[in-house]
Amino acid sequence: MIELENVAYSYGGDSLFAGLSLQLAPGSFQFLTGPSGAGKTTLLKLCYGDLLATSGHVTLFGKDAAGLTRDDVALVRRRIGVVHQDCQFLDHLPLSENVALPLQVSGRSKEAQDNLGDLLGWVGLSRQAAQTPPQLSGGERQRAALARAVITSPDVIVADEPTGNVDWEMSQRLLTLLIELNRMGKTVLIATHDLNLIRFAKSQVVANVLRIRGGQLETGVTL
């Protein structure tokens, strides 16, 4: 599904990591941990085609990421729901339209009527549906970003610190949503520092833990 083979990445200076390989099997549930600045966000961006590897091969849905046209990248993004660490929105539109945006840009606006209400209810944003993103708290924005990432029911969900700004109860709630989606067959990759979150997930599903540290990726980390 998503495959990184012997990948290196640098932002211009020294390589952040090199010789890194990773396979996201369909239907798997993975956590990515590691110290701040280790390259978690960078690795996730390679996985959804926002960055291109400096060397090595990245394969997205069977296609070489380096050879994707701009339209191909757009189509890949539709199959991967992404929660960004810095949640960006269209600040002039109400929350409900922001959450429905992925449906809108792929010509599926009609589906929004079915899912939007339930989804906003689940992430606890029903009351805020008409507010614009600048009027929301950090945690509310994060929940909105998660709702936006999953509204199209994508094959893969990539979440970068999706619970960084919310309390433990809401964290569990958000994670439960991702676990439910995983049970429906979606592939989930979550970057987080929160070990409690990983433990909670491990009590519900088979979750693999990756750790990136000092340019190396360890798989099958035990807590």
Q: How far is the CB of 94 from other proteins (least distance, A)?
A: 11
- Residue 192 in tokens: 């987080």
Beta bridge partners of 187: 156
Q: How far is the CB of 84 from other proteins (least distance, A)?
A: 7
Beta bridge partners of 82: 158
Q: Is 106 in the site for other proteins (CB under 8 A)?
A: yes
Interface map 151-190 toward Mg ion (x if CB under 5 A) = ----------------------------------------
Among 90, 130, 195, 206, contact with other proteins (rule: CB under 8 A): 90
| Segment interacting with other proteins, rule: CB under 8 A, options 25-33, 92-100, 117-125, 196-204 | 92-100
Interface map 6-35 toward ligand ATP (x if CB under 6 A) = -----x----x-----------------x-
Nearer to ligand ATP, 39 or 102 (CB): 39
Site for other proteins, rule CB under 8 A:
50, 70-71, 74-78, 82, 84, 88-93, 97, 101-102, 104-107, 109, 148
